[in-house]
Structure 1
Amino acid sequence: MIYIQKNSNYPIYLQIYCKIKEDIEQGNIVHGERLPGIRTLAQTLGIARNTVNRAYAQLAVEGYIQSKHGSGFLVLDTANKVTKMNYVQQDTTSSSMEISELNQPVSPYDFQYGELSYEQFPFKLWRKYISQILLSPQKEVVNQYPDKQGDLLLRQEIKKHLHRSRGMICCEEQIIVGCGLHYSLDILCKLLAKENNTIAMEEPGYNGARDVFINNNYNLHLLPASREGLIISSIYHSGACAAYVTPSHQFPYGTVMPISQRKELLNWANANDAYIIEDDYDSELRYDANPVPALHSLDAHDRTIYIGTFSKSLSPSLRVNYMVLPVQMLTMYCSLFRSYNSPVSWLTQRALAAYMRDENYESHIRKMCLTYKRRHDVFIQEATKMFGNKVILHGRGAGLHFVLEFPDGEEQDWLIKQAEKVGVKAYPMIPFWNDQNACPQNMLFTGYSLLSEQQIREGIALLQSAWFGTVSK
């Protein structure tokens, strides 16, 4: 059986090629056996015939199969033969690392975090808006450099959305449209630069943000995070110019920051001429209650820098996020970045603005919440049924991932290897720790955004057999 991942970073034809090649080398497909016809396999996998044809062509070039008139593609005898890798011209862009990784079977049970299933994207509406804009008088600006802060129409729609959904009051002049969190944090690192460049951030916390701070020569002051929230007391002696936090859904534990801690952070920022960087990365995806008010909406002293994104609600590949700067930072921003242009395509921004204007974005979020709530609930139900008290789930009620804790002490390296044996991919917690020696070894990080409800059931059943069934330590 050939499994493909349409949202994978690797081309589908390479996934097919590697799976068939592996089956031939392992003897699962033997000499003289006929492969499925191109049309048949394309229909089975729901892909274009050219994709299958490209995979078969590569296998033929390397001597694994041969096309015979009237018989289709037959497997050749590869025993005791060394096949030279002669890639056809269009394959030369593939790196050797990609090919090596693709030699591993593509798992249909990948509990990754970050990517979304492509079925959720509103293709028809998006195509409609793109066409409308290209046929309208708006197209006159297509050859102009965009505003450094982003398209004005999009910023106006973002302002309205933040007021309705997050209780925030701001103006479009405060909004900076960017191409992802890293871009926004790079800008902030330049705006916040002082003699004592120290940023406070959660430990564990988002490693992508940590890398940006380190690359900009900031020192890190770590605020211990747990399933109960942050320990903020040490920040008063940190000398930090800002604190980067994820208060609505702490990453990775999934904790909601209590109101007492929110007020404590705001008081610290106001008393120390510092700022709070509020990363609200998946605030729309709450399943057990209404969205938690943004920290920004509680700030009476304009010390909060709010960062939001469309990556978790619409698509990560659109590369659209935004931040809301305090009014007092706007003069410095306009001075330092006066020659910059927006890094996001004008067409993408204008289409997104129209999509939001017509209230399709809010409708889309409601559909996403229903879809992912079902997957969230299935995960909890199956994990409870299969694992019992052998696994504790953290991060219920929101987002697209869980943290799995193993109270009996099973270690993450062993757990991941056992999962691989049954075709399931699970992930470690260690990347989210700055001090990796402090990372508990009995935890895993599991997402479910790419999996259907049935795949979640099947994947958890396989994990139960690998971790607590017949597979031995």
Structure 2
Amino acid sequence: MIYIQENSNDPMYLQIYRQIKDDIEQENIVHGERLPGIRTLAQTLGIGRNTVSQAYTQLAVEGYIQARHGSGFFVLDASNKVMERNYVLQDTNSLSVERSELKQPVSLYDFQYGGLTYEQFPFKLWRKYTSQILLSPQKDVVNQYPDKQGDLLLRQEIKKYLHRSRGMVCCEEQIIIGSGLHYSLDILCKILRKENNTIAMEEPGYNGARDVFINNNYNLYPIPANKDGLILSSIHGSGACAAYVTPSHQFPYGTVMPIFQRKELLNWAIDSDAYVIEDDYDSELRYDANPVPALHSLDTEDRTIYIGTFSKSLSPSLRVNYMVLPVQLLARYYSMFHSYNSPASWLTQRVLGAYMRDGNYEIHVRKMCLTYKRRHDVFVQEATKIFGRKVILHGRGAGLHFILEFPDGKEEEWLIKQAEKVGVKVYSMIPFWNHRNDCPRNIIFAGYSLLSEQQIREGIALLKSAWFSALP
């Protein structure tokens, strides 16, 4: 804990520097530990970012910490260093150390995708439910192996929620609780395995899913995707045992699969004795209309494997997701995984089940939608006002990210480097392509879930200065 004494003769940056330095030397902060971000620590202490930056700069210069590109500041090993306890700190202004001279640049505005801001998590209610469950007769389960498919209360509440929000009809026996999309896909890869192990997958698509299929020795058959949606015509000759798709919000382009394509995809699955894996990763976060019904809700032949998650609506660190298996695959699942235990903590599952049972999850989702709609709208308004026709936004109306297209042909490598020079982090689209040479070079990827509305405004203004005031 860092304490600032306002009536001290020492400047605030010096107080921060000395307390962190002492903690590192006394191993209260250990090698490899990540320090709070500059913005986060400044907000916590109620001081300016420049003050924190000054302290961190001095610590970095002296070798106590190291800046890592896009990740923040990390503690270095100081155990073998001989330190002078009465060292007198020089004024950091006299050192003339620029941020760019550190080993890695630090981004003040990180348009990353995936993480959520900590203040969005319902800490009070989560603590309340945790205490209630640990003091109830249910606590005996803590020292027992839980239900292999996941806590029954949670599966029952997920079944009800899916019916209300996604138009799905299933039973709790079909629901399998997992510890993230990768876990569920890994299970599926073993269940679906045939002599011809081919998965049809969106190109571009989510690289995390692609890696699971590759690691399980599946061949990938590309379903071309662009800003207008998927091109399904080629899938009929694929010979794939399943197609992995994100129909409610295609990742990364953000398009919604129209009804005629949904029916075409389901007909392909029926005709080919195949399955559709529906990754519904952020369906709750829709801002311009009500969430579209799940592909699963249109399936009359039990050919859809639905995968949902709490990572975008509640917290990615909970490591809880779920999969709804077709009835005809349950026997194979039971046969292959009868000895597997649920990978998610029973306590986390029971707390989440109680949280959903009392209606708090849906209240939380509505609050999240309002919060992220405001950030989405600010991003659209500022980008439109500042960039004009120089940048085209793709993926409006839902989710937590945009694709920025540059009609004049600016290339992503130059765009990313220029942004870094002004303290802004944006991302390449190349990882989402299996065939990376096919990725257009005039597009980049930007999320906004970790930035406030004001930070989005400031970040976009800096991007303008980086991209349009410093032409190559």
Letter in 2 for 1:386: I
Cα pair 2:34 2:75 within 8 Å, conserved:
no
| Total equivalences in the alignment | 416
Cα pair 2:105 2:420 within 8 Å, conserved:
no
- Secondary structure of the 2:148 match is coil
Report the equivalent of 1:12: 35
Unaligned runs of 5+ in 1: 4-8, 28-51, 81-100
Cα pair 2:386 2:461 within 8 Å, conserved:
yes
- Secondary structure of the 1:446 match is strand
Cα deviation code 1:403-435 (max 9, x no counterpart): 000000000000000000000000000000000
Q: CA RMSD in A?
A: 2.9
Q: CA deviation at 1:105?
A: 4.3
Change (3 A) 1:24 1:359: closer
Letter in 2 for 1:472: L
Report the equivalent of 1:472: 471
Cα deviation code 1:179-229 (max 9, x no counterpart): 000000000000000000000000000000000000000000000001111
Cα deviation code 1:226-275 (max 9, x no counterpart): 11111111111110000000000000000000111100000000111100
Change (3 A) 1:239 1:131: same
Report the equivalent of 1:97: none
* Pairing of 1:37-76 with structure 2 (within 5 A): 67=86, 74-75=89-90
Report the equivalent of 1:108: 108
Cα pair 1:108 1:424 within 8 Å, conserved:
yes
- Provide the rounded CA distance (Å) in 2 between the counterparts of 1:409 and 1:10: 41
Cα pair 2:33 2:75 within 8 Å, conserved:
no
- Provide the rounded CA distance (Å) in 1 between the counterparts of 2:305 and 2:243: 10
* Pairing of 1:419-458 with structure 2 (within 5 A): 419-458=419-458
Does structure 1 residue 343 correspond to structure 2 residue 378? no
* Pairing of 1:202-217 with structure 2 (within 5 A): 202-217=202-217
Letter in 1 for 2:282: D
Change (3 A) 1:67 1:350: farther
Q: CA deviation at 1:10?
A: 6.0
Cα pair 1:13 1:55 within 8 Å, conserved:
no
- Secondary structure of the 1:115 match is coil
- Secondary structure of the 2:386 match is helix
Q: CA deviation at 1:103?
A: 4.5
Cα pair 2:60 2:102 within 8 Å, conserved:
no
Change (3 A) 1:144 1:240: same
Change (3 A) 1:228 1:358: same
- Provide the rounded CA distance (Å) in 1 between the counterparts of 2:82 and 2:103: 15
* Pairing of 1:6-405 with structure 2 (within 5 A): 11-12=34-35, 20=55, 22-23=57-58, 67=86, 74-75=89-90, 103-405=103-405
- Secondary structure of the 2:143 match is coil
Cα pair 1:108 1:455 within 8 Å, conserved:
no
Change (3 A) 1:389 1:66: farther
Letter in 2 for 1:75: Q
Letter in 2 for 1:133: I
Give percent identity, aligned residues only: 75
Report the equivalent of 2:68: none
- Secondary structure of the 2:313 match is coil
- Secondary structure of the 1:369 match is helix
Question: Given the two structures, how large is their TM-score scaled by the length of structure 2?
Answer: 0.83
Cα pair 1:277 1:306 within 8 Å, conserved:
yes
Cα pair 1:66 1:76 within 8 Å, conserved:
no
Cα pair 1:178 1:321 within 8 Å, conserved:
yes
